[in-house]
Amino acid sequence: MILAEQPSPAGERPEIQQIREAVRALCARFPGAYWRELDRARAYPKEFVAALTEAGMLSVLIPEEYGGSGLGLVAAAAILEEVQKSGGNGAACHAQMYIMGTILRHGSEAQKRQWLPGIALGALRLQAFGVTEPSAGTDTTAIRTTAVRDGERYIVNGQKVWTSRAEHSDLLLLLARTTPRDQVAKRTEGLSVFVVDMREAVGHGLTIRPIRTMLNHATTEVFFDNLAVPAANLIGVEGKGFRYILDGMNAERILIAAECVGDARWFLTRASDYARERVVFGRPIGQNQGIQFPIARSYIETEAAALMMQRAASLFEAGQPCGAEANMAKLLAADASWKAADMCLQTHGGFGFAEDYDIERKFRETRLYQVAPISTNLILGYVAEHVLGLPRSY
């Protein structure tokens, strides 16, 4: 059986299979040449994002009462997996799916009514997430951006880095310190979450500067200089924001795992096809065990990662605890996609380096997931501490 004909996962609900077919048909309109051109220019895939939005694919996590389809995380994972499997890159818009979860879970009814229907339609883009700072790194509680209450507003000062898609988003979900770290009992306290309307803020205390990276990711650094944010844009209770951000991370990790599984499947299809067709020394290179075993191993690792991802997604959808599974899925899938990328490049020999094959582009894109949105070491630290009961290492 050739990989392109792989059936959907056993037991998958018919509506999820239909979604996969719809995403495949949509992605067929955006071939490798489309992504290559954007990559060269470091340009944003606005036509692709518009098509996904119009097809309702980015609102599957928003309940029907707020204008979404409420299909849930298994559907969202299937959509992103199919996008990556087609050779595209959902990173341009995946956050539109899940950042709103913080508003959905912790916002007031008025805030949900204010923002979620527009986000569901795509008329309002909430796909920027400002947590990481240059000096704090992974130690989120050490962030220095402050929000100080001043009557009916907060005044924000500081800087974020790696705030992706800020130039292509209307709203920004911002984590800032509202009580200094030395005045709280626990360092996780005193942090708060705000929705910043960047349409009003740019030029009035908010500056966005793009960062050019090894991949086309529309990432930026963002500067706050006495930016006024209405107090009405505070999400939940002041000082409890760290918990709200953590709550959103399981969904993000599962969806990134789904993207990595999709990437791995794309690399596997490309490698298998090439290994069957490329003839050297009078026979297909895929007849050599030195070529076929790495492909077979990569397939096995990808299937194992997909199972963990599906388990995590099902637990999340059932409202069950899934922190361990979400983290393990992210690590296994990011490792599977990165190893598949390396295997695919090796299988193609010199041609793997040619831009027209798309392999070097996907190789660069999938490398990100060893580092972001959470690095592999921090996942190992989570499992060591929270699953195995080992002493906290950081």
Ligand X SMILES: Cc1cc2nc3c(=O)[nH]c(=O)nc-3n(C[C@H](O)[C@H](O)[C@H](O)COP(=O)(O)OP(=O)(O)OC[C@H]3O[C@@H](n4cnc5c(N)ncnc54)[C@H](O)[C@@H]3O)c2cc1C
Q: Using CB atoms, what's the residue nearest to ligand X?
A: 137
Site residues for ligand X, 201-220, by CB under 6 A, read 213, 217, 219
Our CB check for ligand X shows the closer of 137 and 349 to be 137
From residue 370, give the alpha-carbon distance in Å to each of 84, 106, 181, 257, 308. 16, 29, 30, 11, 17
Which stretch in 1-9, 125-133, 186-194, 247-255 sits in contact with ligand X by CB under 6 A?
A: 125-133
Our CB check for ligand X shows the closer of 311 and 367 to be 367
102 binds ligand X (CB under 6 A): no
Our CB check for ligand X shows the closer of 102 and 347 to be 102
Which stretch in 5-13, 55-63, 124-132, 330-338 sits in contact with ligand X by CB under 6 A?
A: 124-132
3 binds ligand X (CB under 6 A): no
Query: Total binding residues for ligand X by CB under 6 A?
Result: 23
Site residues for ligand X, 149-188, by CB under 6 A, read 162-164
378 binds ligand X (CB under 6 A): yes
Our CB check for ligand X shows the closer of 242 and 299 to be 242
Q: Of the candidates 173, 261, 275, 374, which one interacts with ligand X according to CB under 6 A?
A: 374
Q: Of the candidates 8, 146, 157, 375, which one interacts with ligand X according to CB under 6 A?
A: 375
- Shortest approach of ligand X to residue 338 CB, angstroms? 14
- One-letter amino acid identity for 201? A
- Shortest approach of ligand X to residue 380 CB, angstroms? 8
Q: Of the candidates 138, 226, 287, 320, which one interacts with ligand X according to CB under 6 A?
A: 138
Q: Of the candidates 132, 250, 302, 347, which one interacts with ligand X according to CB under 6 A?
A: 132
- One-letter amino acid identity for 222? V
Our CB check for ligand X shows the closer of 15 and 139 to be 139
Q: Of the candidates 248, 294, 352, 373, which one interacts with ligand X according to CB under 6 A?
A: 373
Site residues for ligand X, 340-369, by CB under 6 A, read 368
- Shortest approach of ligand X to residue 195 CB, angstroms? 15
Instruction: Please give the residue ranges that form the binding site for ligand X (CB under 6 A).
Output: 129-132, 137-138, 162-164, 213, 217, 219, 368, 371-375, 377-378, 381, 393-394
